[in-house]
Structures are given as structure tokens and as C-alpha cells.
Chain A
């Protein structure tokens, strides 16, 4: 089946630094990638939708200048958390749409800890 590979699986960074998270579709082309954030014991909240070759669409309340999304190719989407702060510590996970409406292939997720 289709696989979305997400890296890194975990990262610890200092406040003020930037962190890049990558999601690759390994055996299919993903023109769209959804980026979610999940705080401990909470649900997955959609942050933004990246589209290959065009600007990402951000959900209300998500700072586009802080969470930079790039979808430069049909197999790679990246999320960069800029000037990270402890409150950005969370589980970030991407997903690519499947062939059936609403179906999704999730990456493994990235546990970000900002110290």
C-alpha cells in the first residue's frame, strides 16, 4: 500500500531555533499534504494544507510566518517551525489523501520538544 515517510520521528531543539520536518510519499505522487498538530491527550488539529506548486492554505489561527510549508515536488512536503518556543512542543503529523474520498495515509509523526 501507499506509504508516507516522515522524518525525524523526534527532535529536541532550543528556543529560538528552527526545525524542519519532512514528509515523503514513497510510492505515489501526493499533490496535497495535510499537516496536523496533536497536543498531549488531545485530538489531531489540522494546521495547513500544502499543494504542490502553490501556496499552502492555513487554518484559522495558525501563523503562516511561523509554520512554513513547502511542497516543492510531488513526493515531498516540508513543515518548518521557525523561532520555536516551548509552547510549540507537540506531535506533528502529515497525511496524504488516498484514492477514496477522505481516505488518508499518515506519516509516522514527529515529536517536537522545545527546551
Chain B
């Protein structure tokens, strides 16, 4: 089955700086890669996603890049703000298999 690894497990960034979180996956059949933000005790919230026919996608301060050959994808948050502090999870799934396999999570702390 799919295995998704995520790094780093914790990340502290000065407010205004950029944050980068990286994930690798094992199943070459995976073709959908969402990123979720989860606050304590809450459900995961989709913040951005990318499909395997695209190499990069951007939504305001958030961007995701995908390297299919290397089987890795990354989340980039620019101009970080205190409200960006949360746990972020990457995930992967493949066409015809609706299950999501989650990464281990990154606790992002924005230092004011």
C-alpha cells in the first residue's frame, strides 16, 4: 500500500518568513495530493491540493509543487502569519481508490 512520509515534524518560523513542508510517497499510482490544516480538536481543513497532471499550483500565499519522477511534493506558505500556526498534513490517493493515506504531520509555529 501507499506510504507517505512528511518532514519536518515541527517547524518554527518568524512571522513574515516562508515555511516549507515536504512529503514523499511510495505508490507511483497515486495521483491526488491534498494538504490539510488541522487545529487542535478540529477536523482537517483542505487548504490546497494538486493532481498529477500539474507540477505546481498556487492560491494566494499557499503553493504546492509536485515532482512525479521523484515522488515528492511540497507545501510552501509565504508571508506567514500567526494564524498559520497549526498542524499540517499531506496525503495521497490514487484514481479509483478513494482512501487517503496521510503523512505524519508537521506542527508549524509562527513566532510573532
A positions within 8 Å CB-CB of B: 32, 34, 41-46, 49, 91, 93, 95, 97, 100-104, 106-109, 111
Quote the shortest CB–CB distance from B74 to chain A (angstroms).
18
B89 x A101 contact (CB < 8 A): no
Residues of B close to A97: CB separation below 8 A: 98
Quote the shortest CB–CB distance from B73 to chain A (angstroms).
13
B99 x A107 contact (CB < 8 A): no
B41 lies within 8 A of chain A by Cβ? yes
| Chain B interface residue count, Cβ-Cβ cutoff 8 angstroms | 24
B34 x A103 contact (CB < 8 A): yes
Interface membership of chain B positions 28-47, coded 1 if the CB is closer than 8 angstroms to chain A and 0 otherwise: 00011010000001111010
CA of A49 to CA of B13, assembled, Å: 38
- The total of interchain contacts (Cβ-Cβ below 8 angstroms) comes to 61
B43 x A43 contact (CB < 8 A): no
A34 x B99 contact (CB < 8 A): yes
CA of A34 to CA of B93, assembled, Å: 13
Find the A residue at minimum CB distance from B30. A102
Find the B residue at minimum CB distance from A46. B99
Find the B residue at minimum CB distance from A49. B99
A91 x B32 contact (CB < 8 A): no
CA of A108 to CA of B98, assembled, Å: 20
A44 x B89 contact (CB < 8 A): yes
CA of A107 to CA of B42, assembled, Å: 9
27 cross-chain CB contacts under 8 A: A34-B98, A41-B105, A42-B105, A43-B89, A43-B103, A44-B89, A46-B99, A46-B100, A46-B101, A49-B99, A93-B43, A97-B98, A100-B32, A101-B93, A101-B94, A101-B95, A101-B96, A102-B31, A102-B32, A102-B91, A103-B32, A103-B49, A104-B98, A108-B42, A108-B43, A109-B42, A109-B43
A106 x B99 contact (CB < 8 A): no
A102 x B105 contact (CB < 8 A): no
Quote the shortest CB–CB distance from A94 to chain B (angstroms).
10
Residues of A close to B89: CB separation below 8 A: 43-44
